[in-house]
Chain A
């Protein structure tokens, strides 16, 4: 399976600031996704990162708060904007290498907002 790397692995930020998380895959993938995992909770899909076009957001998530880029088939970024303590979570990138292939995850970015 593809190796998925995320940077940073963790960060502590001040409220009101923004942070961009990077996701790099070691091979071309068809689909990339961003999930949020709040402390002790399950994973919730934020959006599908579409290559060369705007991301597709799930209910409850908006582009102004979570802008996403995907400039090519191996890289995507998620920005968490105007952060508040409620945004403290693990943010996970995932990727699928082809149609009907399993989804694999990066190690996640643990974000704490003070």
Chain B
């Protein structure tokens, strides 16, 4: 079945800097890769996702890149702001289902003013 590894586990940046979080997956058949942001005590919220037929997707300060050959995908946040501080989770489909997701271990991002 699918396995997802996420790095780093913690990331500390200064406001205005960029942050990059990387995930690798094991199942070459996986075709959908969402990213969720979870603030303390809140629900995971989808912030961006990418399907395997594209290599990059951007939404304002957030972008996701996908390298199918290497089986990894990354979240890029530019011009970070203190409100970007949260735990970020990548995910990939559990084998056998588009919507059944397996999550990475999470990255705790701290943006310092």
Produce 1/0 per residue, A88-111, CB < 8 A to B: 000010001001101111111000
Q: Which residues of A contact B101 (CB under 8 A)?
A: 43, 45, 103
Q: Are B98 and A100 in contact (CB under 8 A)?
A: yes
Please determine whether B43 and A108 come into contact, CB atoms closer than 8 angstroms: yes
The interface residues of chain A lying within 8 Å CB-to-CB of B36 are 105
Partner of A103, one of B46, B104, B105, B106: B46
User: Which of these, A42, A45, A99, A107, contacts B94 with CB under 8 Å?
Assistant: A45
Contact indicator A45/B102 (Cβ below 8 Å): yes
**A42 in contact with B105 (CB, 8 Å):** yes
Asked if A48 meets B98 with Cβ closer than 8 Å, knowing A103-B34, A108-B43, the reply is no
CB of A113 within 8 Å of the partner chain = no
Bound: A108/B105 CA distance, A: 18
| Chain B contact residues, CB within 8 Å of chain A | 32, 34, 36, 42-46, 49, 89, 94, 97-106
Q: Which 6 pairs show the lowest CB-CB distances between chains A and B?
A: A105-B43, A43-B103, A42-B103, A96-B99, A107-B43, A105-B44
